[in-house]
Amino acid sequence: MVELALVAPMLLLLVVGGLDFSRAFLVHNALTNSVREGARYGITHPNDPTTMTARAKAELTGATVSIADSDIHVIWAPASPPGSGCGAVIETEILATYQANKACYPFVKMRIDYTYVPMTPLAGQVMGGGANLHAAVTMGIE
């Protein structure tokens, strides 16, 4: 009984820590699949960031992750180095900037920033209230 009393808390800590780590890994994979889905739509419809965002959010519903629209970023990215006549273009989240000069922005990039909150209070204290997870993908516009 004494040995069990000494070992049980450590064993419980390992099991709960493994569950939290596995759940964080699941959420990160769901975020990665989500940005891929949104960007995949974006390479054929680069003028429609609203639907790109909606598709990314829809992909997350299966993983029971809810995310705000403000955490999803649709970015039009220039080639590196920029094409001739493009000058010094930089990544933009403004649709009008992309539409004004489509030839200089051949890539669409989608990024999600998410704060993962662990299930167990002890893991939350160790992580400082949560862990920041990021997923991003860049695809060429067709």
- Per-residue pLDDT reduced to its tens digit, 6-50: 999 889 888 888 888 888 899 999 999 999 999 999 999 999 999
- pTM of the prediction? 0.84
pLDDT tens digits for range 117-139:
888 777 666 667 778 899 999 99
**Cβ pair 101, 78 in contact under 8 A:** no
| Residue matched to tokens 């029971």 | 64
> In the structure encoding, which two tokens stand for residue 42, read together?
């974006």
User: What H or E segment, with its residue span, contains residue 60?
Assistant: helix 49-61
DSSP structure class, residue 22: H
Longest distance between any two alpha carbons in the chain, whole Å: 78
Closest to 24 (Cα-Cα) out of 132, 137, 141, 139: 132
Return the higher-pLDDT residue of 97 and 120: 97
> In the structure encoding, which two tokens stand for residue 52, read together?
């790109």
Closest to 99 (Cα-Cα) out of 45, 26, 34: 45
Q: What is the pLDDT of residue 64?
A: 80
DSSP three-state, residue 79:
coil
Closest to 72 (Cα-Cα) out of 89, 55, 86, 88: 55
Q: CA–CA distance from 12 to each of 7, 16, 25, 51 (Å)?
A: 9, 6, 20, 44
Name 56's Cβ contacts closer than 8 Å, sequence gap at least 6.
34, 35, 37, 38, 72, 110, 112
